[in-house]
Amino acid sequence: MRSRKIAGALAAVLAVMLTAGATDMKALAAEEQNPEFTVEVQSEVLNREDNFAPVPETVAQSSSESDTAASKISSGNPEPVTESVTEAPTPAGSSKPATEPAVSVPPETTTPVTEPIIPATEPTPEAPTPVTPSPEPSVPATEPVTEPVTEPVTSAPSTDPATPTPPETTPPATESPTSTSLHLGIDNRHLYSDMESTYSQGYTPSTTVSSATLVVPFTADGPLKNDRLTVSLEFDSSGTVPFEMKNYQKDVDKKTVYFDQKGKALKEKAGAAEIAEAYVYRVKLQFLSTAEPGQYPVTVKALGYTEKGEKVTLEYRLFVRISEKDDSDVVVIGGDEPNGGGGDYSGGGGSAETEKIIHQPKMLLDTCNLSGKTLEAGSEETLTAAFQNRSLSEEMYNLKITAASSSAGLKLRKNSWYFAKVSSGENATLESLLTVAKDAESAENTLTFTFEYEDSKGTASTGTETLNLTVTQPVRMELESADFPAVVYASDTEELTVKALNLSRTKVYNARISLSGTGLFPTEEVFLGNLDAGTEGEGVMKVYVGTRTMEAIGNDPGTTDAEKYGPVSGTLTLTYEDALGTVHEETKDYQTEIKKAQILSLNVAEEKETGNSWWYSIFAVVTVFLILLILALIGSLRRKSRLLKEAGR
């Protein structure tokens, strides 16, 4: 019996929820057509809600389902109402989807819903956006209205319109010519503003604790289009970049700068001893808070166009040094309280004691005579390096510096140095003979310097610095050719065999052989390609023989044989590249003589046929033998005849 009562109560509550949902849907539909109707419906729902008790916890699941259905309706995708809804006398603040079957309760009456439901989000001519955006959290449609709505729902335009990003502009794509008469450069003689030294004196960007200032005065030996250069920066992507990443590209116009007698830039024309025109690129690089001390490469790229539209470019690499931050401070870390004996205040008081915090001094590479220099395998150089104590107040004691190479091809005659004391700001300079092995590979090698020292309190510390050195293997090639013909004839095509030998310990690239000279015209170069160490390349060059006065094949202004024919000379050239892309050449001279073309005729001399004398000899012997035999027979017959005659007598 009790179960039936609970079931009946649940059914009644569900019916009330369905009725309230239908009422809300009507209100939404009417709101699209008449905003004032919203006020009336919501007020009616508010009045009905006051007569209802809270929904029991046992029907929380049903209420949640109703909220879900109501949210679907409010999103603009309601389902058409095809079922009748049981209307309770007092609606609740819950919206059950009208498409679910209604639960009939005997004592209640049902009213069919015949009015179509209009999606709340369907646009109308009056309001493009049916829901007004609000900074406050939106209240679900299924919650009861606690305050009467006095204003119609209006749409508000978006306060955060999407701002289109303008497209990046790209300079016109002009094909770079193979050669141009205009070149870019850098003024290395004058001292511009924000520069501490000229480029010829080893300019380095000026730095502060938080930034660095780069000044690059570009020059051009001819007029540029619009008298303008586009300059940008490129950072080394292989390591950590300590600068703020932003667009550093600038359009730099040509300006006239005035200098005094020492070559220092002036702000005014008065007192100027020299005038120069330059494209001065000046930029400030802000350091990141996490930037580590050291040297960081920055490549400055300049791009411009000539008045003919030819592109000219120049790249220059600078190194920005970030120094160690000095934090030598004095702070109070403790003190003795005034102590009065036996509880009596002594009156003398106590003095707070301070202890100085020692920040470890750091060593950084200041200068090195081999920085940026290429070392050739098999060579010897004197290494001189200076390391500076960057601390502003602390000294270093018992400093030991040890050097080690990352490659066996680099050897230092002395690899450790000792300094008893290095004051703040002073340099510890070391020197040693550096030997590069003959079989050292072409590569970047690293020298690592390790520091072991003590501060003023005797606390031991260590540190390291590195120095990169570039080692290259020398390349040596030899050009060989077969004996050049001493005489050649005009209008002939000679085939010359040429050969290149790689006598170095490293590989060479793009080896090719060409010929230049008077009267000889090769049909093409002989390309040998890449040659490994200790190998050779061979090819055949076809050369057309002209005349001494011939400028090109088919163009011979010469008139007499004395002008056109005679001795000539020329050069065979072997061109190749090393591992760094540097072009090398080997040449070999030749001499020959050009003679007039010969016309050859074919004369065939008639020869008498001769037999074999051996057969003739045999025939002669046989003939003589037969003759002798015949003569012997004849003589024998005569003797017999004579004997017969004598016998007959």
Structure confidence at residue 421 (pLDDT): 94
| For residues 425-450, average pLDDT | 91
Please count the other Cβ atoms lying within 10 Å of the Cβ belonging to residue 314. Answer: 19
Structure confidence at residue 430 (pLDDT): 94
324 — pLDDT class (breaks 50, 70, 90): confident
| For residues 173-191, average pLDDT | 70
Q: Please indicate whether residue 241 or residue 92 has the higher confidence score (pLDDT).
A: 241
Question: Quick one: 468 and 490 in the same domain?
Answer: no
% of residues, the chain, pLDDT over 90 = 32
Residue (of 473, 498, 480, 502) closest to 576 by Cα position: 502
Question: Quick one: 501 and 455 in the same domain?
Answer: no
Structure confidence at residue 177 (pLDDT): 40
Question: Quick one: 466 and 483 in the same domain?
Answer: no
Residue 422, in any domain of the structure: yes
306 — pLDDT class (breaks 50, 70, 90): very high
CA 218 to the chain's CA centroid: 24
Structure confidence at residue 448 (pLDDT): 94
Structure confidence at residue 88 (pLDDT): 39
Question: Quick one: 483 and 590 in the same domain?
Answer: yes
609 — pLDDT class (breaks 50, 70, 90): low
Report the b/e string of 466-479 with b at 16+ CB within 10 A: ebebebbbebebeb
Residue 96 has pLDDT above 80, yes or no: no
Structure confidence at residue 606 (pLDDT): 56
Structure confidence at residue 620 (pLDDT): 85
Least-confidence region, from 118-122, 252-256, 313-317, 563-567: 118-122
Question: Quick one: 490 and 564 in the same domain?
Answer: yes
Structure confidence at residue 532 (pLDDT): 92
Question: Quick one: 237 and 302 in the same domain?
Answer: yes
Question: Quick one: 316 and 432 in the same domain?
Answer: no
| For residues 578-597, average pLDDT | 89
Sorted by sequence, the CB contacts under 8 Å of residue 421 that are 6+ apart come out as 395, 396, 397, 399
CA distance 225 to 308: 8
pLDDT in tens, 622-635: 898 899 889 888 98
CA distance 132 to 120: 12
Containing domain of residue 297, as a range? 184-322
Residue (of 561, 563, 571) closest to 592 by Cα position: 571
CA distance 207 to 210: 8
Structure confidence at residue 602 (pLDDT): 54
Residue 365 has pLDDT above 80, yes or no: yes
Structure confidence at residue 611 (pLDDT): 55
Residue 498, in any domain of the structure: yes
pLDDT in tens, 287-305: 998 888 888 999 999 999 9
Residue 629, in any domain of the structure: no
Residue 272 has pLDDT above 70, yes or no: yes
Residue 411 has pLDDT above 80, yes or no: yes
| For residues 553-561, average pLDDT | 85
Residue 163, in any domain of the structure: no
Residue (of 140, 159, 161, 104) closest to 28 by Cα position: 140
Residue 146, in any domain of the structure: no
Number of domains in the chain: 4
Question: Quick one: 441 and 487 in the same domain?
Answer: no
What's the CATH number where 217 sits?
2.60.40
Residue 233, in any domain of the structure: yes
Residue 537, in any domain of the structure: yes
137 — pLDDT class (breaks 50, 70, 90): very low
Residue 39, both tokens:
């006020």
Question: Quick one: 586 and 568 in the same domain?
Answer: yes
Mean pLDDT across the chain, nearest whole number?
74
Question: Quick one: 72 and 9 in the same domain?
Answer: yes
Q: What angle do CA 542, 544, 548 make, to 5 degrees?
A: 140
CA distance 214 to 248: 11
Structure confidence at residue 598 (pLDDT): 75
Structure confidence at residue 151 (pLDDT): 39
What's the CATH number where 417 sits?
2.60.40.10
- Quickly tell me which residue has 């090719």 as its tokens: 512
Structure confidence at residue 608 (pLDDT): 56
133 — pLDDT class (breaks 50, 70, 90): very low
Question: Quick one: 460 and 490 in the same domain?
Answer: no
Question: Quick one: 312 and 392 in the same domain?
Answer: no
pLDDT in tens, 12-27: 777 777 766 555 555 5
| For residues 414-426, average pLDDT | 93
- Quickly tell me which residue has 């005849």 as its tokens: 641
Structure confidence at residue 122 (pLDDT): 40
pLDDT in tens, 464-521: 999 999 888 888 999 987 678 889 998 888 888 899 999 988 899 999 999 998 989 9
Q: Please indicate whether residue 531 or residue 640 has the higher confidence score (pLDDT).
A: 531
Residue (of 388, 395, 392) closest to 455 by Cα position: 395
Residue 103, both tokens:
């639960």
Residue 12, in any domain of the structure: yes
Residue 378 has pLDDT above 80, yes or no: yes
Task: List the beta strands (DSSP E) in 351-475.
Answer: 355-356, 363-368, 374-376, 380-389, 396-405, 410-412, 416-422, 427-436, 443-454, 460-472
Sign of CA dihedral 185, 187, 193, 197: positive
CA distance 398 to 462: 12
Structure confidence at residue 231 (pLDDT): 95
